[in-house]
Amino acid sequence: MKKKSWLVLVLALILSLTFTGSVAAAEIADAADVYRLAAGETIDDDLIVAASEVFIDGTVDGDLIVAAAYVEINGVVTGDVLGAAAGITINGEVGDDIRVGAAGIDINGSVGDDALIAGGGTQEFTTPIPAGARSIRQGIDISGSVGGDLIVAGGSAVIGGSVGGDLLGGLGAVTLTGTVDGDANLEVGSISVGDAARVGGTLSYRTSDEISVPAGVSDDVEYREAVSTDAGSGSARSGVWRVVSWFLRTGAILLGFALVGWLVMRFRPTLLTTPVAALEGDPGRSAGYGCLAMVGLMVIPLISALLVFVVALFWGFGPALLLFLFLFSTLALLWIFSPLITGLWLGRRFTENQLAALILGTLGLALIARIPILGWFIYLISFILALGAIIAARGQGGSAAGQSGDLPAQDPLEKKMAPA
């Protein structure tokens, strides 16, 4: 499969693992410049597409998962829309949920259920974003309709359409001129409420300055004064914003793992396949090596400190600082990226495709690691197994890849993906 297809598959796995169930069968499209589903055409399946620009003028009878510089939906998507781009415009109809992130987002059409939106733009910074031949205006503009709840986070937003459920927002600036059938809970830097705005439930907002809300907008208006985080409290962020922040942070971590894994498998796959072969051959042995290494790591800081002191004494502060950074960064990188090894090992139980196994296993581990307490324990186990596998592979003289029936000495992926 081509590079862009793999990138959009990464996006599909990230979004499906983070927000929904896994993507089953789907049609995968790959276009270097422009992908267009023409008006009158129908895809009776989920569609996964990556391109410079994507235009959906026809009908997708399923979910749409998309990664592009610019996305425009003028037709119909009967399921969910999951997407990331510089600019996203929805003029048509989405039957279910949308979960999208972009510098500029315009929703002029209709969304059948809930919408989770992250966008850019602030009152101070509205410079357009170049995306190919286009210039994307930053910010979120909702003039259409959202049937369910609307959760919006980012720089600035203008909400002039209709929201069938609750409105939850964490924004730098918001202008509310539309209607919200449920409650509106906003945590913002600044807020403006128009005369035509209507909130069926409670309009609750937190900002630095209280505003005058026009009569008739809501029967129940609550103002909460912003609490300075300099006062030693993180209470300035509401529970809604903490939830949104968790999703955004988790998505960034998963995307980082996916991209690093793809790069390693593209250019140096043996960095992963060799220790994985050792782990495949004897997991118990690798776990044992890892536990012994963990015991050794307890004394490494003392040894490292002594070594750095000796270097500083004889060679000066500069070389000592470089040595300290090298020792610390080596352990830190091994800790951070250990799920790449254990993820590939686990993913191979579900698919024989190396890259798909790496992405599936690594993202699964990284997602579990975001769970408080349990996540830290899982990450520790992953680190022990990965460290032990590296030691076991080194002990075998780097020939572990040739000792596993599943990973032959000449790894097909390495041969296939090696740069020309």
* 127-136 CB contacts, 8 Å cutoff, 24+ apart: 129/86, 129/87, 129/103, 129/104, 131/69, 131/70, 131/85, 131/86, 131/87, 132/52, 132/53, 132/69, 132/70, 134/53, 134/69, 134/70, 134/87, 136/70, 136/86, 136/87, 136/102, 136/103, 136/104
Q: Where are the domains of the chain?
A: 1-148, 267-417
The model's pLDDT over 317-327, given as tens digits with 9 standing for 90+, comes to: 777 677 666 66
What are the pLDDT digits (tens) for 184-198? 999 888 899 999 999
Is the Cβ–Cβ distance between 225 and 209 less than 8 Å?
no
What are the φ/ψ torsions at residue 34 (nearest 5 degrees)?
-130, 130
pTM recorded for the entire structure: 0.56
> How many Cα neighbours within 13 Å face the side chain of 100?
37
Distances (CA, A) of 386 to 219, 308, 336: 59, 27, 11
pLDDT score at 401? 41
State residue 409's pLDDT score: 39
pLDDT, residue 3, reads 42
Type of residue numbered 43: I
pLDDT tens-digit profile, the chain (420 residues): 344 444 444 444 444 444 444 344 455 555 457 889 999 999 998 888 877 789 999 999 999 988 777 899 999 999 999 887 778 999 999 999 998 877 789 999 999 999 988 877 665 555 676 665 677 888 899 999 999 999 988 788 999 999 999 999 888 889 999 999 999 999 888 899 999 999 999 999 988 888 999 999 999 999 987 655 444 444 444 555 555 666 666 666 666 676 777 777 777 888 888 888 888 887 777 777 777 776 666 555 566 667 667 767 777 777 767 766 666 666 666 777 778 888 888 877 767 777 777 777 777 777 677 666 666 777 778 888 888 888 888 766 544 444 443 444 344 344 433 443
pLDDT at residue 380, as a whole number: 78
Distance between CA atoms of residues 127 and 147, nearest Å = 31
- pLDDT at position 14 is 45
